[in-house]
Amino acid sequence: MPTSHKIPQWESEGFNHIWLPYTQMQTAPLPLPVISANGVRLTLADGRELIDGIASWWCVCHGYQHPYLIKQISNQLDALSHVMFAGLAHEPAYTLARRLVSITPKGLNRVFFSDSGSTAVEVALKMAVQFWSNQKELDKRKFICFRNGYHGDTMGGMSLADPETGMHQMLNHYTPEQYVFDIPHNSRDLAALAESLKKIRKTVAGLVIEPLVQAAGGMKFHSPEILAEIHRLCKQYDILFIADEIATGFGRTGSMFACDEAGITPDIICLGKALTGGMMGLAATLSTEEVFEGFLSDRLETALMHGPTFMANPIGCAAANASLDLFEGEPRIAQVQGIETQLREELKPCHKLENVADVRVKGAIGVVQLSNTDGEYILALRQQFVEEGVWLRPFSDVVYIMPAFTISTAELTQLTDAVFKILAAR
């Protein structure tokens, strides 16, 4: 396997037993061994430091090893590291539920905890289908989703991904078939979508969308106005509106939640990633009281039959509560706005590069879309960024920056300089 670093013993001994994500194991280069991290810096086993420009898949929003998060987590570890969430209750989860309800769009009132973003999406799908079947609407069980969408790697989530460009094409025959549309961009597109919804509404349980930013499917943006219109159509045609804010939630787009920018309350929202400040896996699916009430009766059959072993893990909930403390006590949203301004300014020169098709910025997300989509070129870029001392992970046709919100202006400039330098060198 090709490598560009000194291999520590644990890596050489363990590599033959590891199966890596999204990786062709026959040809993949060895992953870089990280021994510690602080702020936005990763330290490798050979002593090199990399500035992380993607916050470990966008979740480490306060930077690595934030002392307050570490303190709150270790306090929780001392008291109660885990307890099952059925028949037993604990303070961190109940407090977190109350706090999530108070910061998410008004009307979301019930919190179902799980352990990963993908599971939060599965829970949302299950909620939507059963919400209708509890009302004897048995035909309403398909979902509307969008091209360039991504909603996780479990079966339900995969079924919502773009069937042509998404990474799960190999399993298209296996996952449930959904209705896939282009995200509308103008009133004509919206009218066409409305026409389709009118026709299929009786078979549709819900519409699932990554609000404002379709992330892993290509870092594509749409406007709050369009989002609000899609939401309005769902209301009009009795389709549950499910906002997957796993990537966009907790400040990433410049407001606490992307739905806030459109002034909408989804019927169901999925949260994960930055929920714990990126300290550990925890996710939540929130619903309105109306959806929740759809499950109430004197029979168990109408209840939501879901319960991951580690749901509402107390350490995860303590991390999430601590993360919310930081959002309240530190100027995170202002920092995102600062990052947005800086990204706009510093990525501007990329516009004139020959192989750049588009440059766009939204909140703490900076995207340079390439006209060259050659897979080997994209992989080579990853290596070149490492040589520049930055950790960026271009995919498909995009090079993007989604750093921790605590990144300094100098560190962010190192990232944007590296992007320009490497793309210009081609």
Ligand X SMILES: Cc1ncc(COP(=O)(O)O)c(C=O)c1O
Active site members: 22, 150, 244, 273
Considering beta carbons, is residue 206 or 272 the nearer one to ligand X? 272
Residue 352 CB, nearest approach to ligand X (Å): 31
Q: Which residues pair with 214 in a beta bridge?
A: 220
- Give the span between the Cα atoms of 277 and 347, in whole angstroms: 26
- Give the span between the Cα atoms of 249 and 37, in whole angstroms: 24
Regarding 402 and contact with ligand X (CB under 6 A), the answer is: no
Pick out residues in 125-154 that bind ligand X (CB under 6 A): 150-152
Q: Closest by alpha carbon to 81, among 364, 378, 280, 373?
A: 280
Residue 339 CB, nearest approach to ligand X (Å): 19
Considering beta carbons, is residue 247 or 423 the nearer one to ligand X? 247
Pick out residues in 211-230 that bind ligand X (CB under 6 A): 215-216
The answer to whether the CB of 124 falls within 8 A of the CB of 108 is: no
Judged by CB under 6 A, which of 246, 269, 282, 291 binds ligand X? 246
Convert residues 303-342 into a mask of x (bound to ligand X by CB under 6 A) and - (unbound): ----------------------------------------
Convert residues 359-378 into a mask of x (bound to ligand X by CB under 6 A) and - (unbound): --------------------
DSSP three-state, residue 227: helix
Residue 255 CB, nearest approach to ligand X (Å): 17
- The DSSP string of 161-213 is S-TTTSTTGGGTTTSPP-EEEPPP-SHHHHHHHHHHHHHHGGGEEEEEE-SSE
Considering beta carbons, is residue 121 or 326 the nearer one to ligand X? 121
Regarding 206 and contact with ligand X (CB under 6 A), the answer is: no
Convert residues 152-181 into a mask of x (bound to ligand X by CB under 6 A) and - (unbound): x-----------------------------
The secondary structure of residue 356, as a DSSP letter, is E
Regarding 121 and contact with ligand X (CB under 6 A), the answer is: yes
Tokens of 54: 């993607």
The one-letter amino acid code at 386 reads V
Judged by CB under 6 A, which of 52, 229, 244, 340 binds ligand X? 244
Judged by CB under 6 A, which of 39, 105, 117, 206 binds ligand X? 117
- Give the span between the Cα atoms of 365 and 255, in whole angstroms: 13
Report how many residues bind ligand X under the rule CB under 6 A: 14
Distance of CA 240 to the CA centre of its chain: 20
Residue 301 CB, nearest approach to ligand X (Å): 29
Tokens of 22: 């999204």
The answer to whether the CB of 267 falls within 8 A of the CB of 242 is: yes
Judged by CB under 6 A, which of 72, 104, 114, 118 binds ligand X? 118
Considering beta carbons, is residue 210 or 411 the nearer one to ligand X? 210
Q: Near ligand X by CB under 6 A, which window of 115-123, 177-185, 350-358, 402-410?
A: 115-123
Convert residues 337-356 into a mask of x (bound to ligand X by CB under 6 A) and - (unbound): --------------------
Considering beta carbons, is residue 72 or 148 the nearer one to ligand X? 148
Residue 166 CB, nearest approach to ligand X (Å): 12
Q: Closest by alpha carbon to 124, among 302, 245, 252?
A: 245
- Give the span between the Cα atoms of 157 and 176, in whole angstroms: 10
Distance of CA 207 to the CA centre of its chain: 17
List the Cα angle 325/255/165 in 5-degree steps.
115
Regarding 272 and contact with ligand X (CB under 6 A), the answer is: yes
**How much helix, strand and coil, in percent to the nearest 5, is found in the chain?**
40, 20, 40
Instruction: Report the relative pairing of strands 142-146 and 204-209 from DSSP bridges.
Output: parallel
* Binding-site ranges for ligand X (CB under 6 A): 116-118, 121, 150-152, 210, 215-216, 244, 246-247, 272
